[in-house]
Chains A and B, each alone.
Chain A
Amino acid sequence: MPEIIINDQQIEVPEGTNLILAARKLGIDIPHFCYHPGLSVAGSCRMCQVEIEQNGRKRIDLACTNPAQDGMTVKTDSPEVKGIVKAVLEFLLLNHPTDCPICDDAGECKLQDYYMLHGLYDNRLNVDKWHKPKVHRAGPNVMLDAERCVLCGRCVRFCDEIWGEKQLGIFGHGSDEVLMNYPGKDLDNPYSGNVVDLCPVGALLDRDFHFQRRSWYLKSVKSICPSCSRGCNTYIHFDTDHDYKSAGKRIMRLKPRYNVDVNRWWICDRGRYGYSSIDNPNRALTPLIAGGETGWEQALTKSETLIRSSLKKPGPDGLALLMAPNATNEDVYLALRLFRDTVKFANLGYDIPSMEKLAADNILLTDDPYPNRRGFKDLGFGSISNTSEAAEIIEAIFAGQIKGLVVCGTNLEGMLGNQIDNLIAKLDWLIVLDTHKSSLMDKASVALPLALPAEREGTFTNVKGLVQKFEKAVEPTGQSLPLWEVLQRLGKRLNAKWSFEETHTVFKSLAEDKPEYDTLNWLATFGVNKGLYLDSW
């Protein structure tokens, strides 16, 4: 492994490590625009120049294209290097509109940061700046301000190398050069939002975030995308203190969080832009009894009464629980302890042949729209007597064998269409727990509102069996509660012998005899972060 010296500090790095990465290991940031560890090396922006001394010779060269070689001495802060970096920056900023006050990227823009760190010159340009397309729709999710672009080519390489189709290009010549999608062809690949994160300046922007919040108002927690079984690691960026624009919008955007084993630097657009379901007028806000609003006490008492009334007749064989695999491991665990072990329902089902199979690809997206099917399997979801599939349970209801049904999140309306009323007519009672309003909730004997992942903490097990924790960003909407808490309260009424106060004690209990689950160190995670990205490039 080559050993080198950077600014008088010695470091040994793996063969092939370039000087930007090597310096970063020492906490030294070599300024760069075009380099990104997830993409090929272009060496085009010229920002990363350093002084390299090797075999008795000194030269100024790029840090991104030069791998560390044994015996190199590198300086990133000599007066000569500083002068060069400043000059490169001045060129890159020559025609830049410097409209930071109206730029969504202000506060997280490399041009701004580098100007403060390495520029600080006065503008010497006394002719007009060149103008380029300013508010251009590049695709369904992304907009472009071509004047702000520094032509680093990261976005171009992302589409080409990661997605596999060139959807953006740099066209023209000299000061005329402009980054664009092909005329008449959208930047519309299912990963298009990543170019916004990659863009070091405010040229490519999220259309949904345009003029929504100044970036420095945002807070951030670590989360897991619930939109497919990959379980990409994300940050939830939220703000509850500056709601001057869109009343009630707390979750402002989702950003990828680096995880080499799951999603590297990327997330897909389905996951990224799916957050609008959280601060949504369709959220279930209060418990309902027969469609009428009520409080938790009354609703739980009613649920208890209904369940108790059926324990003798029709008895366990006539009772069923359906649960969608978007519940967390903690929810599943308590559901099993309550419905399987305490009140002993004979029919527990979750494995509904997915109605909406996603278009899987070999980048991230899987075909399973649920985040925790693996967790359900690992925790042995199912009943002791019958190994019932959801579809069989539904058949049994139509056949009049099942009289009481609890539904957690399962989209029965989507499955059954207008058959749903016939199904309800077959039941003595129906208890529905869900996050969003539905006619099923209105028709249920009791309906209970649930919190979404962004409003609570918990764990999902992804398609590869990785147990991943997510944190709470904002308070549950209305009176909604995390599912495990509802199950805890209901369990208490039904004489359960267990009792849990916090999510992580539930997790501890479920992980006890499961070595694959026991590895997750619950407390070794952060709370709300100030810095938005801890892993930005």
Chain B
Amino acid sequence: MRTLSDSTRQQAQALMEMYPTKEAAMLPVLHLAQKEFGLIDDEAEQVVAEVMGISPVSVRETSRFYFMYHHHPVGKYHLQVCQNISCTIMGAETILDHIKRRLGIEAEERTEDGLFSVERVECIACCDRGPAMLVNDKLHTGLTPDKIDGIIKESDPERKLDHMQSEGNKE
């Protein structure tokens, strides 16, 4: 069974002490665990339950409610593409299609080499600069197909893009 590093445990402890009930620290502690494990699967839930001294059922009730916890492995670069109204008006669908074509995967999937994964997310609070997406913790706004290609190239310089025709590029 995996276990959390001492420093993460200490951070979790500090978080729990900030609130009148330790359950209140569940969301940030889950984020800490996700950072360390890369995802929140069954085992991670049980580790968090053990660290927090609460039932794994309670941890699962929380972790499965929120979309920002991954229950399956994501890529080294996790693209979270906003699908809410402002971004959609600004062309989020085209952006998503372009990404899918470039990477050869569907939304909520991961490339075979484990480098990239794509997820559709709700508003990430950059509605004035849509279409927007997060790559891991980094924000990208005013997305165009070219910008997407740039981001992919920057993350994985070896990746070949030209063999795939993107409809977005034809315009």
Is the pair A166, B65 in contact by a Cβ cutoff of 8 Å?
no
Known: A182-B60, A183-B42. A173 touches B65 (CB 8 A): yes
Is the pair A166, B58 in contact by a Cβ cutoff of 8 Å?
yes
Is the pair B55, A171 in contact by a Cβ cutoff of 8 Å?
no
In the bound complex, how far is the Cα of B65 from the Cα of A173, in angstroms?
A: 5
Is the pair A168, B64 in contact by a Cβ cutoff of 8 Å?
no
Tier of interface size on chain A:
10 to 19
Is the pair B67, A169 in contact by a Cβ cutoff of 8 Å?
no
In the bound complex, how far is the Cα of B80 from the Cα of A231, in angstroms?
A: 60
Of A166, A173, A184, the residue contacting B57 (CB under 8 A) is A166
Interface residues of B in 6-65 (CB under 8 A from A): 42, 55-58, 60-61, 64-65
Q: Does A172 contact B (CB under 8 A)?
A: yes
Q: Does A165 contact B (CB under 8 A)?
A: yes
Chain B positions within 8 Å of A173 at CB level: 64-67
* With A165-B55, A172-B65, A173-B66 already in contact, 8 other A-B pairs whose C-beta atoms are closer than 8 Å: A160-B55, A168-B57, A170-B61, A171-B61, A172-B64, A173-B67, A182-B57, A182-B60
Q: Does A263 contact B (CB under 8 A)?
A: no
Among B42, B57, B66, B67, chain A packs the most CB atoms within 10 A around the CB of: B57
In the bound complex, how far is the Cα of B60 from the Cα of A167, in angstroms?
A: 11
**Number of chain B residues close to chain A: CB under 8 A:** 11
Chain A positions within 8 Å of B60 at CB level: 169, 171, 182
Cβ contacts A to B, 26 pairs, < 8 Å: A160-B55, A165-B55, A166-B55, A166-B57, A166-B58, A167-B57, A168-B57, A169-B57, A169-B58, A169-B60, A169-B61, A170-B61, A171-B61, A171-B64, A171-B65, A172-B64, A172-B65, A173-B64, A173-B65, A173-B66, A173-B67, A182-B56, A182-B57, A183-B42, A184-B42, A185-B56
Chain B positions within 8 Å of A166 at CB level: 55, 57-58
**Which residue on chain A has the smallest CB distance to residue B54?**
A166
In the bound complex, how far is the Cα of B49 from the Cα of A165, in angstroms?
A: 13
**Which residue on chain B has the smallest CB distance to residue A168?**
B57
In the bound complex, how far is the Cα of B67 from the Cα of A102, in angstroms?
A: 36
In the bound complex, how far is the Cα of B127 from the Cα of A149, in angstroms?
A: 38
Contact mask for chain A residues 400-435; partner B; CB cutoff 8 A; 1 contact, 0 none? 000000000000000000000000000000000000
In the bound complex, how far is the Cα of B65 from the Cα of A171, in angstroms?
A: 7
In the bound complex, how far is the Cα of B106 from the Cα of A438, in angstroms?
A: 68
In the bound complex, how far is the Cα of B42 from the Cα of A183, in angstroms?
A: 8
In the bound complex, how far is the Cα of B55 from the Cα of A171, in angstroms?
A: 14
